[in-house]
Amino acid sequence: MIDIHSHILPGIDDGAKTTIESIGMAQEAVKQGIHTIIATPHHQNGQFINRRQDIENYVKRLNNTLEKHNIPLKVLVGQETRINSDMVQELESDIIATINNTNYVFVEFPSSDVPRYAEQILFDIQVAGYLPIIVHPERNRQLKENPSILFNLVKKGVLTQVTAASLVGNFGKKIQKFSYQLINHNLTHFIASDAHNITTRGFVMQEAYQALRHKFGNEFYYMFLENAQLLIDGQYVYCNEPDRIQKKFFGIF
């Protein structure tokens, strides 16, 4: 299994604080059946600045540590960048790290809203030759209230990734239900842990994929698994035609 979103690098954001914690996360990832994991430290979110070259150095160091401890986990380079007007410039200046040196790039929205300039920035990223992936849209308040915003973005070629913990209900029933709606309406393309530690923000990838298989069947199960591999290989992923999530009366889905 491949986990495309994690905060396993030690001491550079709100994920693992020490190398010991990183080792603990790596051991837990292996128990979950994960053999490859992408380190995606936060960047430009108001708290953390993590440049591509630094991330590459941290990843190399952690891989060496895991090898010394005989932990069969491969860490790849990534980054989780809060959407901002300098994204294209930072991509072209090698400040922003793409996912495993492919054309895929993670984009994070604020938790409460979608910036007015988001559509233009995402378009500019695509024009520059990159493929943006919106991370954890199910946890964005404005997207939950108005999912047509996400539909319009996906319709224009933007990809999305839901969090494993959201699928199993760790962020509450409403977010879990919205996550299932995103899958059912072809508005998301990846499942990832977004793990920060092994206690409050763990991996739960096995549980999430089991839930996916139970609710949507083998076709979706294998599609999401394969999309993670296609992503790190820099190939086009499976994208079914998106559908709108229709609101019922009184704004209830």
Is residue 248 very low, low, confident or very high in pLDDT (cuts 50, 70, 90)?
A: low
Instruction: Report domain extents, the chain.
Output: 2-251
Say if CB 194 and CB 37 are below 8 A apart.
no
Mean pLDDT of 176-188: 98
| pLDDT tens-digit series, residues 102-133 | 999 999 999 999 999 999 999 999 999 999 99
pTM of the complete model beyond 0.85: yes
Q: Are strands 104-108 and 74-77 parallel, antiparallel or unpaired?
A: unpaired
- The answer on pLDDT for 33 being more than 60 is yes
- The answer on pLDDT for 37 being more than 70 is yes
Say if CB 50 and CB 41 are below 8 A apart.
yes
| pLDDT tens-digit series, residues 224-234 | 999 999 999 99
The answer for 4, left when phi > 0, alpha when psi is -120 to 50, beta otherwise, is: alpha
Is it true that domain 2-251 has CATH number 3.40.47.10? no
Distances in whole angstroms, Cα of residue 182 to Cα of each of 138, 156, 190:
8, 16, 11
Phi, psi (5° rounding) for residue 81?
-105, 125
